[in-house]
């Protein structure tokens, strides 16, 4: 083959993000020096974003097997779980952090589009979307613009595409001031046996590109996602893709219809690294190769070079391998939906990817050498305990003064952006399209999505308190999984599997890598306890900013997306108070603990403290108890104690039900710890007055720790006989605080 005239050196490789050792490895694989096109191919496929070279060792330690799993983690574009009745659920969460930090609207929008394509490229129809968003100080002008852009991007794309956004979380912390996090999750359903694999079986089979034309947007986007943000990152703006939700809607319907023709062998969406990634991963999976003529790829711009076509991350595109002789049905389907379907090559038996452009072979590389699990490098990075742990160890609750005015402390706490309603955000999302969302008028700890034609529903949630993970990565990783499971259980469902989006700083930083390794240790232990295997997900390193001469990693943020199954609609349990006189109980143990609480950070001003009290077995037992109580139909409401502690928990249930409460604290605990501490493994439930005796006997017979707090009462908030004001007053704070910041 012909080599480009430009001399390829280690310096060229370094500019593309490859190390000197990696450059030498590429030369050894090829038996020669690569040309620029080939080096570009390796640079994106061996980037962290595509190869997971710094994380795969530890990802493999997570539990990845379960009786409901239909495909293993990483085997397909998304996880696939058997939910019964002949139906499978495909679900996945991924990040779009750096693009959103540079161009928030398109960055967030294309993140939504990309995750939905991962679902319907498997043959599943997306029925729900979720997101987890992390922003910096909301009072900063630039941050306000980022928040508005991200929220509008998610809303515009999702609403136009026609999939409801049913749940999510929004956090603010100064650590995200330069590097926001935008994690998007999609959930879809498909009949078992009607899925499509991302494979390239059958030498001689045709290879098609379908959907949008290829442009210069998104080139080297995978490399961009695998580098630090810095003050000049705005100059990388061309790496941000541009999305078209209406085109994606057409592509969804056309893809699902094309699958029904039986003419498709395999299909994969073109996300990170575009044609390069799709051709290499599909070929490597099947042990085949491909001959691709890049001149046949429909382009939006004239005179695009071969490497630009290969690396473009233009949105709304798929690569399809069809059955030879069955090309016409595919052409007919995509023509019906007014989408281009062009054969650009064929499958071969060589194991090589051969790319041609205008009659010239511009690259020839072994497919296996490019991919995760094949020839892509794998590293085992060193790690050391973070130095800030010494500050954490200096904390003691006795050093924290009790508030002089509990009402004022409660009001200041409840006004924090992390605790108030995110109504300003979610009102920009369509949550009711397709009419399957059962949570809009009946709020519960997890969102509930009906499956039409089945008695079952899905319960879905995203969870992670990154402050806990920062304080103790191991415990914080466990809590992220445990809280997700607790939300599913409090909703009346059974947790079955997770997907994760692991957002961390630079893996070459030993302290960051310590956070990563230990967070995964904690996650893995919790997943094994709750029997929720990991179906797949995304690792996003390099979430930090270089500002002047200092580097600032974000808090370690392993976001958990969890799927649960609600077997019967009668099990659906909501969080709102139902009736005056209902008894309020707290299940689980309380402690004199303020560790890593929102109260300690935002009201007291202590940044470094331990993670809240957590014991995995205790958590498991509480969740088993709640499951049992829901199935006995004893609970009027259930709501887990998490961010903001017991006070915030009670206020959320009161506001949702329009009813107040009258409770008493327990003398053995400091009032600020009792009300504002975030010790884990606690659930607040309400029980009808006439069921109390039976309920209490059951708890005592099962040796369960519980506290009767008081009762649902009127429309006032009363604690220890002190009136904290009306529910209506607190609702004003809850509903309007965030909107007032951004409007």
667-690 residue pLDDT tens: 999 999 999 999 999 999 999 999
What's the predicted TM-score (pTM) here? 0.94
- Yes or no: say if 101 and 146 are a contact pair by the CB < 8 Å rule: yes
Give tens-digit pLDDT for 587-645: 999 999 999 999 999 999 999 999 999 999 999 999 999 999 999 999 999 999 999 99
pLDDT of 49: 84
Structure confidence at residue 226 as a pLDDT band (50, 70, 90): very low
Structure confidence at residue 231 as a pLDDT band (50, 70, 90): low
- Yes or no: say if 473 and 507 are a contact pair by the CB < 8 Å rule: no
Nearest 5°: the CA angle 643, 59, 610 is 30
pLDDT of 50: 87
Structure confidence at residue 6 as a pLDDT band (50, 70, 90): low
pLDDT of 680: 97
Whether 49 is catalytic is yes
Q: Is the pLDDT of residue 317 over 50?
A: yes
- Nearest-CA neighbor of 81 among 516, 565, 431? 565
Q: Is the dihedral of CA 587, 592, 598, 599 positive or negative?
A: positive
Q: Of 94-98, 214-218, 481-485, where does mean pLDDT reach its minimum? A: 214-218
Mean pLDDT on 481-506:
97
Whether 116 is catalytic is no
pLDDT of 237: 45
Q: Of 48-57, 203-212, 386-395, 706-715, where does mean pLDDT reach its minimum? A: 48-57
Give tens-digit pLDDT for 516-538: 999 999 999 999 999 999 999 99
> What secondary structure does DSSP assign to 194-206, as a single string?
----S---STT-E
Q: What are phi and psi of 719, to 5 degrees?
A: -130, 120
Strands 289-293 and 165-172, sheet pairing: unpaired
Mean pLDDT on 412-431:
93
pLDDT of 551: 84
Q: Is the pLDDT of residue 241 over 90?
A: no
- Selecting among 96, 98, 220, 323, the annotated active-site residue is 96
Give tens-digit pLDDT for 363-416: 999 999 999 888 999 999 999 999 999 999 999 999 999 999 999 999 999 999
Structure confidence at residue 1 as a pLDDT band (50, 70, 90): very low
Measure the N-to-C terminal CA separation of the chain; round to a whole number of Å: 60
- Cα 707–chain centre separation: 35
Residues 391-397: contacts with CB under 8 Å, at least 24 apart: 391/607, 391/608, 392/471, 392/472, 392/608, 392/609, 392/610, 394/608, 395/595, 395/606, 395/608, 395/609, 395/610, 397/592, 397/593, 397/594, 397/595, 397/670, 397/673
Cα 108 from Cα 414, distance rounded (Å) = 28
Q: Is the pLDDT of residue 2 over 60?
A: no
Task: For residue 600, give the DSSP letter.
Answer: I
- Yes or no: say if 504 and 228 are a contact pair by the CB < 8 Å rule: no
Cα 375 from Cα 368, distance rounded (Å) = 6
The percent of residues in the chain predicted with pLDDT above 70, rounded, is 95
Structure confidence at residue 239 as a pLDDT band (50, 70, 90): low
Q: Is the pLDDT of residue 4 over 60?
A: no
DSSP H/E element including 186: strand 181-191
Give tens-digit pLDDT for 691-736: 999 999 999 988 889 999 999 999 999 999 999 999 999 999 999 9
Q: Is the pLDDT of residue 3 over 50?
A: no
Mean pLDDT on 146-174:
95
- What integer best gives the mean pLDDT of the chain? 93
- Nearest-CA neighbor of 274 among 109, 50, 541? 50
Structure confidence at residue 437 as a pLDDT band (50, 70, 90): low
Strand partners, 171: 134
Q: Of 126-140, 231-245, 352-366, where does mean pLDDT reach its minimum? A: 231-245
Q: How many of the other CB atoms lie within 10 Å of CB of 22?
A: 20
pLDDT of 457: 95
Cα 631 from Cα 528, distance rounded (Å) = 24
Cα 209 from Cα 662, distance rounded (Å) = 63
Cα 445 from Cα 187, distance rounded (Å) = 18
Residue 101 in 3-state DSSP? helix
């Amino acid at each position: 083959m012909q080599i480009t005239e430009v001399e390829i050196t280690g310096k060229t490789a370094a500019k593309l993000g490859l190390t000197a050792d990696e450059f030498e490895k590429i030369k050894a694989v090829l038996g020669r020096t690569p040309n620029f096109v080939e080096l570009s191919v390796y640079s994106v496929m061996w980037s962290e974003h595509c190869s997971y070279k710094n994380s795969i060792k530890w990802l493999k330690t997570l539990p990845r097997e379960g009786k409901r799993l239909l495909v293993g983690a990483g085997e397909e574009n998304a996880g696939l779980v058997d939910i019964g009745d002949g139906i499978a659920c495909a679900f996945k969460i991924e990040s779009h952090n750096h693009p959103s930090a540079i161009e928030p609207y398109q960055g967030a929008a294309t993140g939504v589009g990309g995750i939905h394509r991962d679902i319907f490229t498997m043959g599943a129809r997306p029925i729900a979307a979720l997101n987890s968003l992390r922003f910096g100080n909301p009072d900063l002008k630039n941050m306000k613009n980022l928040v508005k852009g991200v929220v509008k991007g998610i809303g515009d794309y999702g609403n136009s595409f026609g999939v409801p956004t049913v749940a999510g979380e929004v956090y603010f912390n100064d650590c995200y001031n330069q590097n926001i996090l935008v994690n998007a999750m999609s959930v879809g359903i498909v009949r078992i046996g009607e899925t499509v694999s991302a494979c390239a079986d059958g030498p001689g089979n045709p290879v098609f590109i379908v959907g949008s034309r290829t442009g210069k947007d998104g080139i080297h986007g995978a490399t961009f996602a695998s580098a630090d943000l810095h003050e000049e990152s705005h100059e990388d703006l061309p790496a941000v893709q541009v999305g078209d939700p209406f085109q994606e809607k057409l592509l969804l319907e056309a893809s699902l219809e094309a699958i029904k023709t039986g003419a498709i062998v395999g299909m994969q969406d073109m996300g990170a690294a575009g044609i390069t990634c799709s051709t290499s991963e599909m070929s490597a999976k099947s042990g085949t190769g491909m001959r691709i003529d890049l001149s046949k790829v429909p382009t939006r711009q004239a005179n695009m070079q071969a490497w630009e076509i290969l690396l473009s991350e233009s949105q709304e595109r798929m690569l399809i391998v069809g059955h030879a002789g069955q090309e016409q049905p595919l052409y007919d389907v995509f023509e019906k939906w007014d989408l281009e379907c062009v054969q650009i090559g064929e499958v071969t038996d060589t194991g090589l990817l051969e790319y041609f452009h205008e009659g010239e072979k511009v690259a020839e590389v072994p497919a296996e050498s490019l991919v995760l699990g094949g020839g892509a490098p794998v590293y085992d990075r060193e790690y050391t305990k973070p130095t800030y742990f010494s500050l954490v160890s200096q904390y003691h609750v006795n050093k924290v003064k009790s508030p002089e005015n509990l009402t004022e402390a409660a009001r200041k706490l409840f006004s924090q952006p992390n605790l108030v309603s995110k109504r300003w955000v979610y009102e920009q999302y369509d949550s009711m399209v397709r009419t399957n969302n059962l949570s809009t008028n009946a709020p519960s700890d997890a969102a509930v999505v009906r499956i039409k034609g089945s008695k079952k529903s899905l319960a879905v949630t995203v969870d992670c308190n990154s402050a806990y993970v920062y304080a103790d990565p191991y415990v914080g990783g466990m809590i992220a999984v445990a809280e997700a499971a607790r939300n599913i259980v409090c909703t009346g469902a059974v947790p079955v599997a997770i997907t994760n989006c692991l957002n961390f700083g630079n893996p070459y930083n030993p302290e960051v890598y310590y956070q990563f390794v230990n967070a995964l240790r904690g996650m893995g232990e919790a997943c094994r306890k709750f029997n929720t295997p990991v179906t797949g997900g995304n690792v996003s390193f390099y979430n930090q900013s270089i500002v002047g001469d200092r580097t600032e990693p974000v808090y370690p943020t392993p976001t958990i997306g969890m799927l649960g199954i609600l077997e019967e609609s009668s099990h659906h349990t909501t969080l709102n108070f139902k009736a005056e006189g209902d008894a309020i109980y707290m299940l689980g143990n309380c402690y004199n603990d303020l560790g890593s609480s929102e109260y300690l950070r935002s009201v007291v001003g202590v940044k470094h403290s331990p993670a809240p009290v957590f014991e995995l077995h205790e958590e498991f037992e509480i969740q088993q108890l709640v499951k049992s109580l829901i199935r006995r139909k004893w609970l009027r409401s259930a709501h887990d104690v998490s961010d903001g502690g017991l006070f915030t928990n009670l206020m959320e249930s009161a506001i949702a039900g329009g009813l107040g409460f009258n409770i008493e604290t327990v003398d053995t605990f400091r009032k600020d710890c009792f009300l504002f501490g975030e010790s884990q493994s606690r659930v607040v439930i309400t029980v009808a007055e006439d069921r109390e005796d039976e309920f209490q006997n059951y708890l005592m017979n099962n040796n369960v720790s519980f506290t009767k707090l008081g009762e649902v009462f009127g429309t006032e908030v009363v604690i220890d006989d002190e009136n904290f004001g009306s529910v209506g007053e607190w609702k004003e704070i809850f509903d309007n605080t965030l909107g007032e910041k951004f409007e």
